Chains A and B, each alone.
Chain A
């Protein structure tokens, strides 16, 4: 099919979305990811029965935590599709990409850059004096 999807999506393959832990999601944001989304099988058709339901609960938990720490829960999402729905996969990638572009970068990166700029400004100021 050779479908295109946004280049800034990085795919991490897991045997089942049930393998994805809340810590994987949180650490991704700690390391500077702007958004994380999980693409699992359709609900009710998990090979391991509960994997995608567990993943959805973890995504919801991550959303609550990210809202509380100021990152924003809307940066995490869960999608479901079947393995034969490649166009939908590309559509979801596009949708998530647009959502993140609208939200802007991970606030941690912005705050870090602002802190570094401030520190650099102070150092330069001392140099002039």
Chain B
């Protein structure tokens, strides 16, 4: 899922302070799972904004809505009647959802209420960890299912580097050395011979180096 983190409330308040009708828009997908942009968080943010305006003696209306997906025009079109009466939209979907919202409602200001961070999974309730950077050329088959691109600070493809100590990365004792994990995993799989094979130079043109990316599935694209 895409993992995000809530923006500081002061930043959101600064963005909406001069508006009378504010809509807080959440998304039912990734940001709901990572507990930052679902119906619940929409309620909390809207309530906090209402309290801010009440405390300032300012009359403002703060609405709440949660779309099935903000990154899908199909759902944005359905939300038109809900969204249009408002002066500003605070989108607490990921950066993709926020941008799609802004594109769909081109005459209304749309501001983000979260900072989008990475693609990852939950280690436990309330703790998420990065697992993929969308490099466009997956290496997991060669590395025992552990990604050196997203989990190694240097994205080293033939590691570990000299900064690996007792299984931890030199950047922090809380960060596992991805290459230590890869070696341990290959050992467990009985595939340690694969580790001896040098990884060829990676084609980074499928990563961001090739500019903004687009995928077209010919079978379904019209």
Residue positions of A touching B, CB distance < 8 A: 22-23, 26-27, 29-30, 65-66, 68-71, 107-108, 111-112, 114-115
Contacts and interface: CB of A to CB of B under 8 A. Distances in A.
B98 to A, nearest CB: 22
Given A71-B55, A111-B57, A115-B59, A23 B50 contact: no
22 contacts: A22-B44, A23-B43, A23-B44, A26-B44, A26-B47, A26-B48, A29-B51, A30-B54, A65-B44, A66-B51, A68-B9, A69-B9, A69-B49, A69-B51, A69-B52, A69-B55, A70-B55, A71-B55, A111-B55, A111-B57, A115-B57, A115-B59
Closest 5 CB pairs of A and B: A111-B57, A108-B54, A26-B47, A115-B57, A70-B55
A29 to B, nearest CB: 6
B56 interface: yes
Given A27-B47, A30-B50, A70-B52, 16 more contacts: A22-B44, A23-B44, A29-B51, A30-B47, A65-B44, A69-B48, A69-B49, A69-B55, A71-B51, A108-B51, A108-B55, A111-B54, A111-B55, A111-B56, A112-B57, A115-B59
Contacts of B59: 115
Contacts of B51: 26, 29-30, 66, 69-71, 108
A108 B52 CA distance: 8
Q: Is the interface of B mostly helix, strand, loop or mixed?
A: helix
Interface string B25-54: 000000000000000100110011111101
Contacts of B48: 26, 65, 68-69
Interface residues of B, number: 17
Report which residue of B43, B44, B48 has the largest number of chain A beta carbons within 10 angstroms of its beta carbon.
B48
Contacts of B43: 23
